[in-house]
Amino acid sequence: MKKIILPILLCFSTIYSANAQLNKNVDDLKKLLETTNKDTVAWTHTGLFSIGINEGFLHNWAAGGEIASLAVNSIFQGNLTYLNHGSIWSNTLNLSYGLNYVYSNSFVPRKTDDRIDFTSKFGSRLNHSTDFYYSALFNFKSQFTHGYDYTVPGWQKAPTSDLFSPAYLTLALGMEYRKGADISLFLSPLAGREVLANARYTSLTAQGAFGIDSGKTNKFQLGAYFSGRYKVDVKKNMTFTTRLDLYSNYLAKNTTNDAGVVVKQDNPGNIQCLWDNLFVLKAYKVLSLTFGLTMVYDNNFPYSSTYIDQTTNLPVKKVQPGEGLGWVQVSQVFTFGIAYKF
């Protein structure tokens, strides 16, 4: 019996040791590829999924407040990269969605976050001694569900956006400086962008919406595009990721009405800007603190401090925070919940 058991145990021990060494080699390679451009053939992936829930309940509470509330926020960030010596194909998907339920609103869900952002990039290294790549980039942006301005009475009947309304398709050719997976600076002097939307939304105003002419469903733009991404492990359990996208439309020009009056001013100097930040602190095992801040400037999304009352047809002042931010779009989320890295 011993003659049988000992070889079996030795065999399992050898397989386990080899598998552990293989996993260690894969982890070491993955860590190395985060900061260096190693000449190798390999698939690598990284990912983060975070979900947080905030619940509250009050009864006969002297200080007052919302009787019952529930907020749910979720974030997904994933990257899949293929390296083949001097070539690299990188795919990044960012998703986020958040809902808020309160008793005073009969628990009708209201969105707090909604985003789809996918980037696929292929690059060929200039030579083995440089960190520059000839690159082609494709980017898609949109959202999952209807969007509303909840400060406007009767908002249920007047959605301001929807899935693929708007949607942005960008195809760009240019040069990328890349230092592993942690640093990427991509610049393109030739970037085509197609803006798509349902005619229902672009017919809401005489100027149209999302930069699309009133009643139409698409708008083509041609310009320069920059996309920079940086990721750093501040500490062992603390990660910060930031991204800056800039787009200048060469074809931008003032929009006039039939009388020749300028109704919207625009030019290539009105650079569209997206600045995205995500800070993740791993508190205990899968428990984490997540802070996200996204700021967007787009000349096609003007800010108005009033809305038109559907009954009186007169402008009414909005009551909301952030008045001084003007045309800058801001989305900020703070979540305590579960985060899983892979």
| Same domain, yes or no: 78 and 206 | yes
| Same domain, yes or no: 184 and 296 | yes
| Same domain, yes or no: 115 and 198 | yes
Q: Could you tell me the CATH number of the domain that includes residue 248?
A: 2.40.230
| Same domain, yes or no: 110 and 229 | yes
pLDDT given at position 18: 42
| Same domain, yes or no: 216 and 283 | yes
Q: How many domains does the chain have?
A: 2
pLDDT given at position 21: 45
What average pLDDT does this structure show over 145-150?
Answer: 91
| Same domain, yes or no: 26 and 99 | no
Q: Using 50, 70 and 90 to split pLDDT, how confident is the model at 284?
A: confident
Q: Which domain holds residue 15?
A: 1-33
| Same domain, yes or no: 104 and 9 | no
What average pLDDT does this structure show over 255-281?
Answer: 84
pLDDT given at position 19: 43
| Same domain, yes or no: 169 and 147 | yes
- Residue range 81-108, pLDDT digits in tens: 999 988 999 999 999 999 999 998 899 9
- Residue range 214-260, pLDDT digits in tens: 889 999 999 999 999 999 998 888 999 999 999 999 999 877 766 66
| Same domain, yes or no: 42 and 23 | no
| Same domain, yes or no: 17 and 110 | no
DSSP annotation string for 167-224? EEEEEEEEEEEEETTTEEEEEEEEEEEEEE--HHHHTSSTT-BTTBPTT-SEEEEEEE
| Same domain, yes or no: 230 and 259 | yes
**Sign of CA pseudo-dihedral 310, 316, 322, 325:** positive
| Same domain, yes or no: 252 and 286 | yes
Alpha helices in the chain, H assignment, sequence order:
2-33, 199-202
pLDDT given at position 12: 45
